[in-house]
Amino acid sequence: MKKGFLQKLYLGILLIFFYAPILILVIYSFNESKIMGQWTGFTFKWYAELLRDDNVIQALYVTVGCAVIAALVSTVVGTAAAIGIHNMRPGPRNILVNITYLPLVNPDIVTGVSLMLLFIFLNMRLGFFTMLLAHITFNIPYVIFSVMPRLQQMNPHLYEAALDLGATPLQAIRRVVIPEIMPGVVSGLIMAFTMSLDDFVISRFTSVEAQNLAMLIYSRTRTGVDPTINALSAIMFVSVITLLLIANRKSLTADSKDHH
Amino acid sequence: MNKKIALVLVLVLVLPALLGLTACGSKKPVLHVYNWEDYIDPAVIDMFEEEYGVTVKYSAFTTNEDMFALLQSGATSYDVIFPSDYIIERMIAEDLIAEIDYSLLPNFEHIAPEFASGVGYDPEAKYSVPYMWGTVGILYNTTMVSEPITSWEVLWDPQYDDNILMLDSIRDSLGITLKYLGYSLNSRDAAELEEAKLALIDQKEYVLSYVVDQGKDKMVRGEAAMAVVWSGDAAYAMAQNPDLDYVIPEEGSNIWVDAMVIPANSENQELAHAFIDFMCRPDIAQMNAEYIGYSSPNATAVANMDSAISGDERFYPSPEVIANCEYFHDLGDDLDMYNEMWSEIKSGATGN
Amino acid sequence: MKRKFLASPYIVWMMIFIVVPMLMIVYYAFTQDGSFSVENMVRAFGELPMTALWRSLYMAFISTVICIILGYPAAMCLCSKNLKRKSLILVLYMVPMWMNFLLRTYAWAVILERTGIINTFLASVGLPPQKLLYTDGAVILGMVYNFLPFMIMPIHSSLSKIDPMLIEAAEDLGANRARVFTRVTLPLSFPGIVSGITMVFMPAASTFAISQLMGNNTQQLFGEMVEQQFRTLYNYNYGSALSLVLLALMLLSMAIMRKFDKNGEGAALL
């Protein structure tokens, strides 16, 4: 059991490393002073302020709206693309897979800059819509690469069997293929949502009119972070953690049986 | 990854987004305002929306250059923008802004004559209406600095090794160095600039960090003995920490104005004028000045203020001090030279 | 309906939003005022950008090495059969990514400042204050903090794919633990390490926000130079030339990655 203890200790230390700054942010959301790092007293006022700060609320809508739409669109397009690519001959497949890698491994700044050049060339106003297009673009590869392994694990004859049994191709995909690859689709969706939620660099280059939280925070880390932002992060953090714990409580019992 | 977790999370996060979208459905006229972050009293926007029955969409920029790059790309449509002097000069040169129609600005009469009659960046006052003004100086912590500061020279004093915060801004850092060396902060003379560059490279070993606006918060917390800051930030920091003081060095400094302009491609010029006029109303100008802590060019508003504020020579300096300060001018193509210098300054070895 | 046509919407999308923008960078990099010119490319390989590039690569290299050293054991622990509630712990590692990275980095700055939490603690036990922030070490800490999950995840996913029978077989054949690790586990998790490296190294080499918050900013990183050209100086041509340098580096690392990940098609990534 000593070995298990050391493992838990190490994972625990890393979790402290990951969560220490978050804890600091949450603590300072209750700070009387506007300046982080200077504790002057306990207050809830930043939470009240948050409701009145239009910039923050608007940025929250932009962020979540963009992340949700981008994640959904890229999941649909990406899943279809993965099925399509999976059924191609090796030649075209390799070319497509390689190009799909580009946005994943490309430095964000290059992706952002290249899209900015494109939007300016197309004379599009840099705003929510261009930001959304950019997010969908960098999300699709995450979906494709989380769906593809599932397709590879799938029995290739399942689809044909469904057709033989009289299903139309669309039915076969919906009833047979999709359920098989669902775990990959879901993790692709979550991945896409996460990437989109936290994106700063690409959004910075592709949007001006619409500001997401990351952009707002960037300008505020330069002008001094307002504790309302801390309050917002604290709320987001607590709700995410609570949801996860609730959802996980049910799956915990199933967890021991889970041998993926 | 659990399917249910994903569904619950997505649902919870989608709901507020949908609420937000429905809330945006109203059909009032919309005024797009592009200003610095936290550079207006939010109550003022609410008042304007109420009085004119319009919706104000307020976006913020962090640097003049950011704002300009995007305006120049043509991919935006704002109605009122709040840029600084030298960038206004450039916007005028590139035909990006519309002329102001003063018949629509009855409240313009409250602007102090020295600002109203046009200054260097807009000599005939045809394109811009001053909003706030200020200087650049040294914010210092009196518990960490013993002697009174009078000169930029203190920024090169080894005594304050690792105790100096500099502005991470090309024009400002080179500008004050040129001033320290006795040159114009708009110098285009290669030899003068070379001297300033070397001075800044020498200085690096004493600099704790190059910062942008977060310097004011660091000064409040006592991270460093002194920082080069804009006067408004100094006023803010001094209100938070009584140990801090601000000085405009005797060699002179930069004086700047942030003004309101209407972009040439604004689709709502009339409402834009109404907004600018509203900003010039003395009570509104006073609200903004008190909220932001910068100096107002609105003479009536200043006269109505507490004399402890309007009489403070650090923020409303005497005409002699102002005469010793310079506006930045647009450098045109020579900006490239500044930029190259900046890269050279930042490519040398660290002093630490 | 042939299944491969399901990829067509994506192919169109990809052409417009991945291929064309890349070509635009190339176009801008090799033109000046609308006509062909190599001036910007020559400048991009000049002394100043190269100094910044080497510095960026050096910082990114150190960060990547630290991420492997910290991340590999973490991924192994996460795969350990001694660990219960695995999915919960895995999720706990992902949750921080749902909070804005700039804000988390900013919080680190507050922890490390001279008047920050660590130094306040040191002072209270009578130790002299340390300069923690405003150093290269702080920038590297910021990078490791932000990119470590991207190292742990792919390694974890490649480790969890290893058939436990293989390891048992090796043990049955008399291999000791160290030998099982070096001969079986490590080689099989190699694709995970390689994709971890690509996920960490290039972002670290091109970042500009982390160094602005954590470092002393007296030296530019390459990412800052690129950002400056587009957002401060509007020199899209020179900026594109600099981006092209990053792009070339990226393609190089991709080629290396492909070499190690022949069959994976990115499977190791997630």
- Contact: B347, C218; criterion CB under 8 Å: no
For residue B288, pLDDT beyond 90: yes
Q: What are phi and psi of B33, to 5 degrees?
A: -110, 135
Residues 6+ apart with CB under 8 A from B202: B156
Residues 168-227 of C with CB under 8 A from B: 212, 215-220, 225
Of C214, C240, C211, C213, the residue nearest C49 (C-alpha): C240
**The pLDDT of residue C268:** 41
- Contact: C216, B347; criterion CB under 8 Å: no
Does residue A6 belong to any structural domain of this protein?
no
Q: Is residue B139 a contact partner of residue B237, using CB atoms and an 8 Å limit?
A: yes
Residue that the structure tokens 């987004």 belong to: B17
3-class DSSP assignment, residue B97: strand
Q: How many CA atoms lie within 13 A of A128 on its CB side?
A: 16
- Contact: A113, C226; criterion CB under 8 Å: yes
Q: What are phi and psi of B59, to 5 degrees?
A: -115, 155
User: What homologous superfamily is domain B134-255+328-345 in, according to CATH?
Assistant: Periplasmic binding protein-like II (3.40.190.10)
Does residue C248 belong to any structural domain of this protein?
yes
Domain positions in chain B are 26-128+261-315, 134-255+328-345
Q: Subunits touching C (CB < 8 Å, at least 3 pairs)?
A: A, B
- Contact: A110, C25; criterion CB under 8 Å: yes
**The pLDDT of residue B3:** 52
- Contact: B211, C217; criterion CB under 8 Å: yes
The most confident of A41-50, A223-232, B187-196, by mean pLDDT? B187-196
Query: CA A205 → CA B81, B192, B258, C56, distances in Å?
Result: 20, 35, 25, 21
For residue A136, pLDDT beyond 70: yes
C-alpha–C-alpha distance, residues C185 and A27, integer Å: 42
- Contact: A65, B21; criterion CB under 8 Å: yes
Query: CA B63 → CA B57, B84, C94, C216, distances in Å?
Result: 19, 9, 33, 20
Does residue C33 belong to any structural domain of this protein?
no
Confidence of residue B352 (pLDDT cuts 50, 70, 90): very low
Structural domain span for residue C205:
44-79+97-269
The closest CB to that of B69, out of C91, C220, C230, belongs to C230
Q: At what angle do helices A128-153 and A90-105 cross, to 10 degrees?
A: 130
Angle B172-B173-B178 from CA coordinates, rounded to 5° = 95
Q: Among 3.30.160.20, 3.40.50.720, 3.40.190.10, 3.30.1330.10, what is the CATH number of B26-128+261-315?
A: 3.40.190.10
Structural domain span for residue A235:
55-155+182-239
Task: Please state whether beta strands B97-98 and B164-167 pair in parallel, antiparallel, or not at all (unpaired).
Answer: unpaired
**The pLDDT of residue C160:** 87
Query: C224 in contact with A at a CB cutoff of 8 Å?
Result: no
Does residue A176 belong to any structural domain of this protein?
no
H or E segment to which residue C211 belongs: helix C209-214
- Contact: C218, B1; criterion CB under 8 Å: no
The closest CB to that of C216, out of B69, B210, B212, belongs to B210
- The DSSP letter of residue C98 is G
Q: What are phi and psi of B84, to 5 degrees?
A: -90, 165
Tokens of A85: 């690519």
The closest CB to that of A251, out of B2, B21, B213, belongs to B2
Cβ count near C37 (within 10 Å): 15
- Contact: A61, B213; criterion CB under 8 Å: no
Does residue C29 belong to any structural domain of this protein?
no
**Which stretch of A70-74, A161-165, A186-190, A256-260 has the lowest confidence by average pLDDT?**
A256-260
Tens of pLDDT, residue by residue over C45-73, are: 998 899 999 999 999 999 999 999 999 99
> What is the CATH classification number for the domain harbouring A148?
1.10.3720.10
Q: Chain A: residue nearest B233 by CA?
A: A223
Tens of pLDDT, residue by residue over A36-55, are: 777 888 999 999 988 877 77
Query: C262 in contact with A at a CB cutoff of 8 Å?
Result: no
The whole-angstrom distance between B191's CA and the closest CA on chain A is 33
- Contact: A194, C94; criterion CB under 8 Å: yes
The interface predicted TM-score (ipTM) is 0.86
The closest CB to that of B221, out of C115, C135, C235, belongs to C115
For residue C126, pLDDT beyond 80: yes
Q: Is residue C143 a contact partner of residue C64, using CB atoms and an 8 Å limit?
A: no
User: Taking residues A8-16, what's their average pLDDT?
Assistant: 92
Query: CA A32 → CA A28, B215, B217, B242, C168, distances in Å?
Result: 8, 20, 15, 17, 59
Q: Chain A: residue nearest C158 by CA?
A: A149
Does residue A97 belong to any structural domain of this protein?
yes
Of B37, A200, B66, B205, the residue nearest C210 (C-alpha): A200
**The pLDDT of residue B213:** 74
For residue B166, pLDDT beyond 60: yes
Confidence of residue A214 (pLDDT cuts 50, 70, 90): confident
The closest CB to that of B212, out of A34, A119, A222, belongs to A222
3-class DSSP assignment, residue B157: coil
| pTM confidence score | 0.86
The closest CB to that of A105, out of C2, C70, C202, belongs to C202
C-alpha–C-alpha distance, residues C203 and C198, integer Å: 8
The whole-angstrom distance between B303's CA and the closest CA on chain C is 38
For residue B46, pLDDT beyond 80: yes
Task: Give the count of Cβ contacts less than 8 A between chain A and C.
Answer: 271
Q: How many CA atoms lie within 13 A of B192 on its CB side?
A: 16
Query: C100 in contact with A at a CB cutoff of 8 Å?
Result: yes
- Contact: C73, A10; criterion CB under 8 Å: yes
**The pLDDT of residue A257:** 41
Q: Is residue B326 a contact partner of residue B252, using CB atoms and an 8 Å limit?
A: yes
Does residue C264 belong to any structural domain of this protein?
yes
Residues 6+ apart with CB under 8 A from B49: B55, B56
Instruction: Give B60's contacts in chain A (Cβ within 8 Å).
Output: 55, 211, 216, 219
- Contact: A219, B4; criterion CB under 8 Å: no
Task: Please state whether beta strands B30-36 and B55-61 pair in parallel, antiparallel, or not at all (unpaired).
Answer: parallel
The most confident of A106-110, B194-198, C169-173, C213-217, by mean pLDDT? B194-198
Higher pLDDT, B37 or B244: B244
Task: Return the residue in A122, A205, A209, A236 with the most chain B beta carbons within 10 A, the one to mutate for interface testing.
Answer: A209
Does residue A76 belong to any structural domain of this protein?
yes
**Which stretch of A100-109, A135-144, A152-161, B4-13 has the lowest confidence by average pLDDT?**
B4-13
The closest CB to that of A191, out of C199, C267, C270, belongs to C270
- Contact: C98, A197; criterion CB under 8 Å: yes
CATH topology match: B26-128+261-315 vs B134-255+328-345:
yes
Instruction: Give A97's contacts in chain C (Cβ within 8 Å).
Output: 265-266
**Which stretch of A79-83, B212-216, B259-263 has the lowest confidence by average pLDDT?**
B212-216
Instruction: Give B3's contacts in chain A (Cβ within 8 Å).
Output: 182-183, 186
For residue C2, pLDDT beyond 80: no
Q: Chain C: residue nearest B350 by CA?
A: C218
Domain count, chain A: 1
Confidence of residue B350 (pLDDT cuts 50, 70, 90): very low
Tens of pLDDT, residue by residue over A64-74, are: 999 999 999 99
First to last CA, chain B: 47
- Contact: A65, B20; criterion CB under 8 Å: yes
For residue B225, pLDDT beyond 60: yes
Instruction: Give A221's contacts in chain C (Cβ within 8 Å).
Output: 102-103, 106, 213
Domain count, chain C: 1
What's the residue count for chain B?
Answer: 352
Tens of pLDDT, residue by residue over B70-116, are: 787 676 779 999 999 988 998 999 899 999 999 999 999 999 988 88
Q: Is residue A67 a contact partner of residue A214, using CB atoms and an 8 Å limit?
A: no
- Contact: A251, B220; criterion CB under 8 Å: no
Mean per-residue pLDDT over chain B, rounded: 87
**The pLDDT of residue A159:** 87
- Contact: B162, C131; criterion CB under 8 Å: yes
**The pLDDT of residue B207:** 93
Task: Return the residue in A60, A74, A106 with the most chain C beta carbons within 10 A, the one to mutate for interface testing.
Answer: A106
For residue B2, pLDDT beyond 70: no
User: Taking residues C228-234, what's their average pLDDT?
Assistant: 80
Instruction: Give A224's contacts in chain B (Cβ within 8 Å).
Output: 213-214, 216-217
For residue B348, pLDDT beyond 60: yes
The whole-angstrom distance between C174's CA and the closest CA on chain B is 36
User: Taking residues C5-24, what's their average pLDDT?
Assistant: 93
**The pLDDT of residue B291:** 87
Residues 6+ apart with CB under 8 A from A163: A169, A172
- Contact: B209, C216; criterion CB under 8 Å: yes
- The DSSP letter of residue B159 is G
C-alpha–C-alpha distance, residues C101 and C89, integer Å: 20
Residues 60-119 of B with CB under 8 A from A: 60-62, 70, 73-77
Q: Is residue C180 a contact partner of residue C174, using CB atoms and an 8 Å limit?
A: no
- Contact: A221, B214; criterion CB under 8 Å: yes
Does residue C244 belong to any structural domain of this protein?
yes
User: Taking residues B345-350, what's their average pLDDT?
Assistant: 70
Q: Chain A: residue nearest C110 by CA?
A: A37
**The pLDDT of residue B9:** 53
Does residue C19 belong to any structural domain of this protein?
no
Q: Is residue C197 a contact partner of residue C64, using CB atoms and an 8 Å limit?
A: yes
User: Taking residues A232-239, what's their average pLDDT?
Assistant: 85
Does residue A25 belong to any structural domain of this protein?
no
